[in-house]
């Protein structure tokens, strides 16, 4: 993709996702992810409707009329987007690839954080650390993140979620809001997920294609593994083979949902043919 085409695509993503974050997600994001606590701001005269528990009795006694303490939420937060760029994310049978949906969701979350003056960082992973952009504020920083999501070419096509979480634990010293965007077709990440969910506000967003759920009955067809490149000829006429494939797929999904729920982390799944807007809104509202 040349520079002109890339900038055009970045702008298109910005217009679409920023409109969503400004009009739909901004308030939900703010309500869902709280600051680190309340800090004292000022003392002012009591007004009708103020909570009597906030009255400052020392100032009230001094001026012989009621005054209240005003507190503000200590709002500065860090949003870290952890995005799977392995080979399986380049799959899609309808209008979009999984990676394109992951990019839109990540951009929407980034602009929501920007609207709330939070820092945003990006971590791209496969079975290795592909790219790490430390958290910063500002529109130009968010646009850089979108450019990387659109243009980045990973060194590896494989997936290792456990390795990604280990890296995250090493670089994020303070508590952060962490969204992991992947198809979660992996296993063996329970231990690192448990540790990461205790330290950070963790949410998994699983993006999938409807066709991945089961093999269609098409006869003997070549199936290519997107992460290893190996090709196998599969007899999809066989009910046993189709059943085994479906069971294995459902097992991966169940592991993902169970691990996140068991460890107190949020999770949602979004098919590329569905509206991720509705999914995210539903998730935010359920958390408030």
Mean pLDDT of successive 10-residue stretches along the chain, which has 288 residues: 66 72 64 59 80 86 87 72 85 71 90 87 96 93 91 91 95 92 91 95 92 82 73 85 87 92 94 86 80
Beta strand ranges found along the chain (DSSP E): 37-45, 67-74, 78-84, 119-125, 129-136, 177-182, 201-208, 220-224, 231-235, 266-271
Backbone angles phi, psi at 65, to 5 degrees: -155, 155
Structure tokens at 50: 């103020």
Helices (H) and strands (E) in the chain, counts: 9, 10
Q: What is the 3-state secondary structure (H, E, C) of 166-188?
A: HHHHHHCCCCCEEEEEECCCCCC
Architecture of the CATH domain 3-31+76-287: 3-Layer(aba) Sandwich (3.40)
pTM, whole model, 2 decimals? 0.78
pLDDT at 198: 94
Domains of the chain, by residue range, sit at 3-31+76-287, 37-74
Q: How far apart are CA 242 and CA 260, in angstroms?
A: 28
Spatial CB neighbours of 158, under 8 Å, sequence gap ≥ 6: 86, 87, 126, 127, 227, 228
DSSP for 27-65, please give it.
HHHHHHS--SEEEEEEEEE--TT--GGGB-HHHHHHHTS
Phi, psi of 237 (to 5 degrees): -65, -30
- Residue 223 has a pLDDT of 76
Among residues 227, 230, 250, which one has the least CA distance to residue 160? 227
Output the pLDDT for position 272. Answer: 87
Closest residue by Cα to residue 25 from 112, 102, 115: 112
pLDDT at 74: 54
């Amino acid at each position: 993709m040349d520079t002109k085409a890339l900038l055009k695509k970045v702008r298109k993503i910005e217009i679409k996702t920023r409109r969503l974050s400004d009009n739909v997600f901004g308030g939900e994001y703010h309500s869902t992810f709280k600051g680190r606590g309340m800090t004292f701001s000022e003392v002012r005269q009591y007004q009708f409707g103020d909570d009597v528990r906030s009255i400052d009795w020392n100032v009230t006694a001094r001026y012989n009329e009621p005054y209240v303490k005003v507190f503000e939420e200590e709002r500065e937060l860090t949003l870290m987007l952890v995005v799977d760029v392995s080979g399986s994310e380049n799959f899609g049978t309808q209008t979009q690839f999984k990676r394109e949906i992951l990019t839109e969701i990540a951009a929407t979350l980034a602009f929501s954080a920007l609207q709330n003056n939070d820092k945003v960082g990006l971590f791209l992973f496969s079975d290795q650390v592909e790219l790490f952009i430390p958290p910063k504020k500002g529109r130009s920083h968010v646009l850089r993140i979108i450019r990387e999501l659109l243009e980045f070419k990973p060194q590896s096509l494989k997936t290792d979620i456990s390795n990604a979480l280990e890296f995250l634990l090493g670089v994020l010293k303070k508590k952060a809001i962490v969204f992991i965007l992947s198809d979660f077709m992996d296993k063996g990440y329970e231990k690192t997920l448990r540790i990461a969910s205790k330290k950070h506000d963790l949410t998994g967003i699983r993006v999938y294609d409807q066709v991945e759920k089961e093999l269609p009955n098409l006869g003997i067809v070549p199936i290519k593994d997107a992460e290893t490149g190996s090709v196998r000829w599969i007899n999809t006429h066989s009910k046993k083979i189709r059943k085994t494939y479906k069971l294995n797929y459902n097992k991966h999904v169940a592991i993902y949902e169970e691990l996140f729920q068991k460890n107190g982390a949020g999770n949602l799944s979004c098919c590329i043919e569905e509206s991720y807007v509705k999914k995210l809104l539903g998730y935010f509202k359920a958390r408030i």
